[in-house]
Copies of this chain bind each other. A is one copy, B any other.
Amino acid sequence: MATFSCPVTSFSSIRCSYGPNSSGNHGDYRVNVNVNGNASTRPFKHHALVNEMALQSPASLANLQFLENGHISEEKIRQRIPTKKQLVDPYRRGLIVERGVGYRQTVVVRSYEVGADKTASLESLFNLFQETALNHVWMSGLLSNGFGATHGMMRNNLIWVVSRMHVEVDHYPIWGEVIELDTWVGASGKNGMRRDWIIRSQATGITYARATSTWVMMNVQTRRLSKMPDEVRGEISPWFIEKQAIKEAVPEKIVKLDDKAKYVNSDLKPKRSDLDMNHHVNNVKYVNWMLETIPDKFLECNQLSSIILEYRRECGGSDLVQSLCEPDEDEILFTNGVVQQNLLKNNVNTLTYGYTHLLQTKGGTKNEEIVRGRTRWKPKI
């Protein structure tokens, strides 16, 4: 998954300009976005991410699997992407639920998905969100090749890009534990899509984590955000349901940090292994860069309970990245063990602590925002 985004709170406020990019920069595009009443022309860059809802109109297996010369594509044989809706996938341990439009997958937490404390890392949860989202589309019988778009989207040169992600974690699954992930999609304004997840213990049914995300469409040539064409709406809207994993009355506004932030980690360089199928830094890497900027002393005695990410720009393999973070004022309560213990005795369930985050490219003349973040933490028991 690569990522890009604007801080979209309601997609009905997006006004797109379709003219050529005045900068002539292939990787840049501009779009008028009306966010919270403030119209602006904002530059975006193409984000590899997520032609995630790659819905295509049904086609016969034969049509898909045979190339013009009559040879079967080796990749298609090996991948076996369904061309019809499939209710059960024994290999993925997945099934269609929610009256035929939701997806559930049973997963065992693997030995390499847990951290030093034997609990699944936040990175692993993000990976499983991506995986189940793609498998949902896989099961729908509508997935085109790879992270590709629907037939309607492909005809319009559109891909999905993520603009916002909000994850709440009550309990972290442990190594070897069997968990169930449910995922489904819904409308988000006129031109966007919401995708939600719930992670539950398979043994007890207890909810471990919830997540919601918003997605918009981008023209892959002009690098501009796009309205959702009726043709595409017709493909994907039958899958929309109203249910929400996290109800957000007024989404939290994330302030932009500047160079005065308390903790700064500069000169972060993407590695080859950080790049995904779209040749951009996978957005899960962003989360790691953010968390690694928080002091070890804090991380040792606290665990993340929520994270909100606002994606603004992709990160390429050659970008130099800077990670900034600023703790909320009362950090001392959480780094001083004694005070923390006293607080724990009084009010362990409501005690949380926050950090504000910013990842930006470190350019010659100006820095560009990649993602803003907000994390909340609670003491480890």
Q: Give which listed residue, B80, B111, B130, B175, contacts A112 with CB less than 8 A.
A: B130
- CB–CB B276/A116 < 8 A: yes
Q: What residues of B have a CB within 8 angstroms of the CB of A292 in the complex?
A: 271-273
Most chain B CB within a 10 A radius of its CB, from A108, A291, A299? A108
CA distance A51 to B237 in the complex (A): 50
A130 to chain B, nearest CB (A): 6
A18 to chain B, nearest CB (A): 30
- CB–CB B78/A282 < 8 A: no
- CB–CB B112/A174 < 8 A: no
Given known A116-B277, A277-B118, A279-B116, contact A175–B79 (CB-CB < 8 A): yes
Question: What 0/1 readout, one digit per residue, does chain A (105-138) give for beta carbons within 8 Å of chain B?
Answer: 0101011101111100101000100110010001
A76 to chain B, nearest CB (A): 10
Given known A79-B174, A272-B292, contact A111–B134 (CB-CB < 8 A): yes
CA distance A130 to B127 in the complex (A): 19
Q: Give which listed residue, B91, B175, B275, contacts A115 with CB less than 8 A.
A: B275
Q: Give which listed residue, B75, B110, B175, contacts A174 with CB less than 8 A.
A: B75
Given known A110-B131, A130-B111, contact A271–B288 (CB-CB < 8 A): yes
Q: Give which listed residue, B79, B112, B201, contacts A284 with CB less than 8 A.
A: B112
Most chain B CB within a 10 A radius of its CB, from A177, A201, A278, A299? A177
Given known A273-B115, A292-B273, contact A178–B131 (CB-CB < 8 A): no
Q: What residues of B have a CB within 8 angstroms of the CB of A176 in the complex?
A: 78-81, 138
CA distance A111 to B146 in the complex (A): 9
- CB–CB A272/B284 < 8 A: no
CA distance A110 to B107 in the complex (A): 12
Q: What residues of B have a CB within 8 angstroms of the CB of A177 in the complex?
A: 78-79
Q: What residues of B have a CB within 8 angstroms of the CB of A117 in the complex?
A: 277
CB of A252 closer than 8 Å to a CB of B: no
Question: What 0/1 readout, one digit per residue, does chain A (282-301) give for beta carbons within 8 Å of chain B?
Answer: 10100010011000100100
Given known A116-B277, A146-B175, contact A77–B272 (CB-CB < 8 A): no
A294: nearest chain-B partner, CB-CB: B272
A356 to chain B, nearest CB (A): 20
Q: What residues of B have a CB within 8 angstroms of the CB of A108 in the complex?
A: 91-92
Most chain B CB within a 10 A radius of its CB, from A81, A106, A272? A272
CB of A190 closer than 8 Å to a CB of B: no
A133: nearest chain-B partner, CB-CB: B111
A213 to chain B, nearest CB (A): 15
CA distance A272 to B304 in the complex (A): 14
- CB–CB A203/B146 < 8 A: no
Q: What residues of B have a CB within 8 angstroms of the CB of A173 in the complex?
A: 78
Q: What residues of B have a CB within 8 angstroms of the CB of A75 in the complex?
A: 174
A201: nearest chain-B partner, CB-CB: B78
Q: What residues of B have a CB within 8 angstroms of the CB of A253 in the complex?
A: none
A131 to chain B, nearest CB (A): 5
CB of A243 closer than 8 Å to a CB of B: no
CB of A93 closer than 8 Å to a CB of B: yes
B-contacting residues of A (Cβ < 8 Å)?
1, 75, 77-81, 90-93, 106, 108, 110-112, 114-118, 121, 123, 127, 130-131, 134, 138, 146-147, 173-178, 201, 203, 271-273, 275-279, 282, 284, 288, 291-292, 296, 299
15 contacts between A and B (CB under 8 A): A78-B176, A79-B175, A92-B108, A110-B131, A111-B131, A112-B127, A112-B284, A114-B277, A115-B272, A115-B275, A115-B276, A118-B146, A146-B175, A272-B299, A273-B292
